[in-house]
A and B are shown apart, each in its own frame.
Chain A
Amino acid sequence: MPGLSGRMSTVIKAKISKLLDRAEDPSETLEYSYQKQIELLQNVKKGIADVVTSKKRLQLQEQKLRDQVVKLDTQARQALAAGNEELARTALERKNVAQTELQSLDSQVAQLEQQQEQMTASEQKLRTKIEQFRSKKEVIKAQYSAAEAQVRISEAATGVGEEMADVGLAMQRALDKTENMKARADAVQELEAAGTFEDLTSLTPGEDDIDRQLKQLSSTSEVDAELAKMKAELGTGSAPVGELGAGTPSAGAGAEQTQQQSPGQAS
């Protein structure tokens, strides 16, 4: 059969015959393929464990990024309340980068979740086929002549072999995707190590590279919009200095300090 299905069938069938082709007599085929089936089941379990590990790692990174987003937002507000708009902008740019990463991590975790479900379902299906094969081979041996049994057992072994090849393919694809995500997670970790999401106390003039990355990654208009919103919330801009930041923690703390300083200066 030509076409995609024809090509795919050829690939899978070649795999199956490779899988089964070492054994020539039916009992050997049985034993060999049964042994292979058990091995594959163990590999599938290991594959699922790999996916779960990657998922947990990504979830841990997500949590760290969430914390950073909150922290950077607070820092931007504090910087703005203190009248340092440039610092507030930098904090918001970093927040923007962290949020973008967070969104991408979210979708990756969802993908891994889906892979885990799919692999668990594959494992269940393969397990059922293997059980079926094990009981069927005994029935076939008991019911048929040696020659007929060989034909029937080969057919059943081919059916199970196809399932095995398919589960093998599903696992390969799932693990490939997981590998890609690991690479991506590593890249995020490098950004973290470079201080991209760090708080602003670590900002030094030497971090030109990060600044450049920030400019590339973050959307300036988003940052501008957020900065404007924050300004409005804080009542800065055209508002008189006396009303600035009324009710915000940092402005309150500043007022207290002024009050505390006055008696000190007086005495």
Chain B
Amino acid sequence: MIVRIATEGQYELGDAQQASLNELDNEAVAACDADDEQRFKRTFSSLIEFVRKGKPVGDDDLRPSDVILPPADVSLDEAKADFNGEGLIPG
């Protein structure tokens, strides 16, 4: 699967890695929901580091991503406002 880290680039991960990705993602979401800045920074960095271990997708590759992550330097407030709030994504 192809995962994009927003404002950074795309990485290709194997199917076997999808479970770990989901797990790390859920941890970041839990920290975000708990409104815990420290925990969010820690869990989100682990998620980003995990994706960065994947194979970078070449600039001349036009395949779209399966998953897109927020930028690596996203703040808890941004994460909450952009991805958690009522505005952008209903439901």
Q: A residues near B, CB below 8 A?
A: 1-14, 16, 118, 122, 124-125, 128-129, 131-133, 136, 155-156, 158-162, 166, 169-170, 173
- B62 proximity list for chain A (CB < 8 A): 129, 132-133, 136, 155-156, 159-160
Q: How far is the CA of A14 from the CA of B87 in the complex (A)?
A: 13
Q: Which of B7, B25, B60, B88 contacts A129 (CB 8 A)?
A: B60
The answer on a CB contact under 8 Å between A8 and B6 is yes
Contacts A169-B6, A170-B7; A4 near B64 (Cβ below 8 A) = no
Q: How far is the CA of A5 from the CA of B17 in the complex (A)?
A: 15
With A3-B26, A159-B63, A159-B64 known, 18 other A-B pairs at CB within 8 A are A2-B26, A4-B32, A4-B44, A5-B21, A6-B25, A8-B6, A8-B70, A9-B68, A10-B89, A11-B88, A16-B64, A156-B62, A159-B61, A160-B62, A162-B4, A162-B65, A169-B71, A173-B7
The answer on a CB contact under 8 Å between A4 and B60 is no
Q: B residues near A, CB below 8 A?
A: 3-4, 6-7, 9, 21-22, 25-26, 28-29, 32, 44, 47, 59-71, 79, 82-84, 88-89
- B88 proximity list for chain A (CB < 8 A): 7, 10-11, 14
- B6 proximity list for chain A (CB < 8 A): 8, 12, 166, 169-170
The smallest C-beta distance from B9 to any residue of chain A, in angstroms, reads: 7
Which partner residue on chain B sits nearest A167 by CB separation? B7
Q: Is the interface of B mostly helix, strand, loop or mixed?
A: mixed
Which partner residue on chain A sits nearest B40 by CB separation? A4
- B59 proximity list for chain A (CB < 8 A): 124-125, 128-129, 132
Q: How far is the CA of A240 from the CA of B29 in the complex (A)?
A: 70
The smallest C-beta distance from B72 to any residue of chain A, in angstroms, reads: 11
Q: Which of A5, A132, A161 contacts B67 (CB 8 A)?
A: A5
Which partner residue on chain A sits nearest B26 by CB separation? A3
Residue from B59, B60, B68, B84 whose CB has the most chain A CB atoms within 10 Å: B68
The answer on a CB contact under 8 Å between B89 and A11 is yes
Q: How far is the CA of A158 from the CA of B10 in the complex (A)?
A: 14
Q: How far is the CA of A10 from the CA of B66 in the complex (A)?
A: 11
Contacts A3-B28, A166-B7; A9 near B84 (Cβ below 8 A) = no
